[in-house]
Structure 1
Amino acid sequence: MGTVGLSLPIAVLDAWGLEPHVVECQPLSGGLSGALVFRVLVRREMGVPQNVVVRGWPEGISGDRVRDVQRFVSAVRQAGCALVPQWIRSVDGSSCLTHQQRIWEVTEWIEGEPWRPQTLTHQELSEAVQKGAAAIAQVHAAANQQTFSETGRQTVVPPAVLERCQRLQVVQDWWEAGPLDADRLDGREWLGAADRVARACWQTHGQAITEWLAIAQTIAYPVQTVLRDVHEQHVLFQNAQVSGLIDFDAMRIDTPAVDLSRFAHGFLLRWGIQKLTSNLSPLFQMNAEWGDCLEKVVWPAALAGYRQHCSFSEQEAELARHLGDVSSLFSLVNWVVWISWEEKAGRLSEKITEDVARNRVEQLQQFAINYFLAR
C-alpha cells in the first residue's frame, strides 16, 4: 500500500475520491493522543483549491467511539453552531474508514490558529479569554439542544470530581513514598526539581484540596455533553475572532465547569510561561501576580464570555475554579510519577519523548511555583 505525506495511506484518499486531486499534504501535530492528522490541499478540475483535514484516530479507538463523537459534532452543527467542522462522507457514503489498525475520517478545514498575543497586556488577554469562553458556551448551548445525550441536563456528582477523588489516592501514595531517589532520577535533575516543587505545593495546599474533594463528591451539579479537553490550543482565532474549535476526542457527559476550567487555566499556564522568557511589557512575574491575574483578569473574562450564551451559577463558577487548581497540581504529580517509572522501564513512547515530557513538566512546575508557592 502506498502512502503520501509520510504516513497517510493512499487508500484513505481513494476512499474519499481525493487521491487524483491532491496538491499538497502536510502532517500536523496530533498531540499526545497518538492520532495522525494531515492538512490536505485538493483541487478538483478547474475549481478553487480547498483544504480538508484527514485524521487517523489513535490505534485501539473503537468504531463506536468514533461514531459517537461524529454524531455529537454533527448534532452541534445541526443546532446552528458553525464553530465545529463539518464531516465529509466518503465515496460510498460512510463517515469513516478502518485501515491499517486505525479509523480514518475527513472533515472540512477551519481557518485560524491558536491565539497569539501582540502585547500580552491584561486587556488583550481578557478579550481573548472572553471570546474563547463565549465560543465554548455556544458549543455547549448547541449540545444542550440536541438529543445525543440521554442524560441531558440531569443533576449528579460530576465525573470530573469523582475522577479527581480517585487520583487523590495516587497523589497520597506519591507523597508517602517520599522524594525520588537517585535511582529513580537516573541523572535527570529536572525531574527531581519538579518532584521537590510538587512536594512543597502539596505540603501547603494538600489538606485544603483533600477537604474540598471530600465535600465536592457529595454535591450534585447539572451535567451535559461537554468537550473535556478544550485547552487554548483547540480554540482557533482569525482576525481577532474565534473561527472554530477542534479536537473532540474526549467528549462525554460531565459538568460544563470542566471545560471552562481547562480553558482558563491553560491560557495562564501557556502565556505565563512564555512571558518569563519574552521581552514584552511586564505581565507575569515570579511572584503572586500570576494568581492575581487568574482571579482578577482570566476568570472574570471567562465567566463573562460563557454567560453570554449559557447560564452558569456561582456554585458552578466556584467548581470550575477548584477543578482548575486541583488539576494543575495533580497533573504535575502525575507526570512526575509516570515519567519516573516509564523512564526507568524504558517505556517512553515515540509520541512522548523525553524532550516532550520535560517541556510539559517544566511548564507545570513553573506554574506551580508562581501560582501555589508565591501566594
Structure 2
Amino acid sequence: MNETSEARRVLEQYPGDWRDARIERLGSAGGFSGAALWRIRAPGQDLCLKRWPAEHPTEDDLRFMHSVLLHVGRQGLDWAPAPRPSRGGATWVVSGGRFWELAPWMPGRADFRSNPQPARLRAALDALAQFHRAAQSFPDFAPRHGVPPSISQRRERVQRLAAGGLDALSRWVVPDVWPELFEPARRAVRLASEVLLPVCQDLENAIGWKTPLQPCIRDVWHDHVLFTGERVTGLIDFGALRVDCVAVDVARLLGSLAGDDGSLWEIGLEAYESIRPLETLERAMVRILDWSGAVLAAIHWIEWLYRDRRWFADREAVVRRVREVVDRLEHLTRRLREGGETAGGLWLPGPVAAEVRKSAAARGGLRLPNGND
C-alpha cells in the first residue's frame, strides 16, 4: 500500500464523505521534524492530514497537545489548528505504527523575511501573546511558579558539552559527510567552544529563578508563522508543546524574526506585552533563552547531520537553515569578544538588569553581570 492509499484509509476513519476528496501529498512541506503532510480538499472543507514521525510524540504528549489546541480554539483562536475527532472519538488515528491527525488547513505563507515590516512583527507577537493568554486558563493544568524546564534542560545540556561532549562531537565532523556544510560545521564547533562558558554562566544564574509555568509551544519560529498580508492567519507545528515559561516562546520567535536587531526586539516585546505583560524575571530569561538556543541549535544540527547521519528530503533547505544558525552564533561570539560578560548580559537593559539583581538576590544571591547598569 502506497502512502497516499494509506492516507485515504486513515481519512475514512474520520466522519464525513471522502469519496470525492482530493488528496495532495506534500511530503515534509519544508519542515525538519520527519512528519509527512497531505492537503485534503473536500466539498466545503480544506484540511491537513499529518503523520507524525515514529520517534515522537508519545501518546500522552499528543493528548496534552491536542487538549490545549482544542481549548484555545474554543476561545476563538481559529488560526491555531484544533484537531478533528475521529469516528472513535479520539483526536488521532494509529496506522502503520504512527500517529495521524486531521486539522483545518491554515492559510497564508511563512514569508516574514521577504517582507519584514514592523506591523507584521507586531502581528506575530500579538498572536503569540493571545495564545499564551488563552492557554493559561487550560483547565487540566493548575498554573504554578517554578524553574522553567527549558532552563534546567539547557543547563544540563551545556554542562555535558563543556565536560567533553563538544570535543567528542567535533570528531564526527568530516568532509565526506555533507561536504557543503563541512566548513560551517567546523566553525560552529569552534564558536560554540568559545561561548559555552558564558552561556553556562547565564543558565546557572537563572536556575533559581521561578516564573509562572503554563502550556507553551516551545518551537514557534519564522517557518511556523503564516501571514496573509500583515495578518497572522496560522500557527503550525505544535509537536514540542509542553509546560514551560512563556519566555521560551518569546525568545524562539523573536530570535528567528528579529535576529540581533535591538530595535525590532523592542517592537516585538512591546507588542507582546500589550497583551500579556512579562514579569521581570521572565523578561530577563527571554534573552538568556535566545542566546542559549542559538548555541544549541548549531550543536543540534551538527549532531543530526554528522553524528546521526540523518536524511532530509530538502537538502537545500537544510543547508540554508544551518548557515542561518551558524551566522547567528558567529554574531553572538563577536559581541562577546567586544566586551559582553555573559550572553544574556549583552542585551538586558540597565533598569531591567537592576531589577533582576534585586529579585535574584531575594531568591538566594544569584548573579547578573554588573556591566549592564
TM-score range, shorter chain: 0.7 to 0.9
Cα displacement (A) at 1:144 = 0.9
Question: What corresponds to 1:364 in structure 2?
Answer: 325
Q: Structure 1 pair 331/182, CA: closer, same or farther in 2 (3 Å)?
A: closer
CA contact (8 A) 1:228 1:258 kept: yes
Return the alpha-carbon distance in structure 2 between the equivalents of residues 185 and 2 of structure 1.
36
Question: What corresponds to 1:161 in structure 2?
Answer: 151
Report whether the alignment pairs 1:305 with 2:297.
Answer: no
1:1-375 residue pairs with structure 2 within 5 A?
1=1, 3-4=3-4, 8-16=6-14, 17-29=16-28, 31-43=31-43, 49-60=44-55, 61-117=57-113, 120=116, 124=117, 126-150=118-142, 152=143, 154-173=144-163, 177=167, 180=170, 184-186=174-176, 188=179, 190-200=181-191, 202-203=193-194, 205-268=195-258, 291=260, 293=261, 295-297=262-264, 299-342=265-308, 347-349=309-311, 351=312, 357-373=318-334
Return the alpha-carbon distance in structure 1 between the equivalents of residues 115 and 109 of structure 2.
17
Q: Once superposed, what is the RMSD of the aligned Cα atoms?
A: 2.7
Aligned-residue sequence identity (percent) comes to 23
Question: What corresponds to 2:341 in structure 1?
Answer: none
Normalised by the size of structure 2, how large is the TM-score? 0.80
Q: Structure 1 pair 107/353, CA: closer, same or farther in 2 (3 Å)?
A: closer
CA contact (8 A) 2:172 2:307 kept: no
Normalised by the size of structure 1, how large is the TM-score? 0.79
CA contact (8 A) 2:159 2:200 kept: no
Return the alpha-carbon distance in structure 1 between the equivalents of residues 24 and 325 of structure 2.
34
Question: What corresponds to 1:281 in structure 2?
Answer: none
> Any stretches of 5+ residues in structure 1 without a counterpart?
44-48, 270-290
Q: Structure 1 pair 55/215, CA: closer, same or farther in 2 (3 Å)?
A: same
- Secondary structure of the structure 2 residue equivalent to 1:113: coil
> Any stretches of 5+ residues in structure 2 without a counterpart?
339-373
Return the alpha-carbon distance in structure 2 between the equivalents of residues 167 and 69 of structure 1.
25
Return the alpha-carbon distance in structure 2 between the equivalents of residues 233 and 200 of structure 1.
25
Aligned residues: 332
Return the alpha-carbon distance in structure 1 between the equivalents of residues 285 and 2 of structure 2.
50
Q: Structure 1 pair 79/148, CA: closer, same or farther in 2 (3 Å)?
A: farther
Cα offsets for 1:57-95 (capped at 9, x unmatched): 222433333222111111112233333123222344442
Cα displacement (A) at 1:239 = 2.7
Q: Structure 1 pair 241/28, CA: closer, same or farther in 2 (3 Å)?
A: farther
Cα displacement (A) at 1:246 = 1.6
Q: Structure 1 pair 186/180, CA: closer, same or farther in 2 (3 Å)?
A: farther
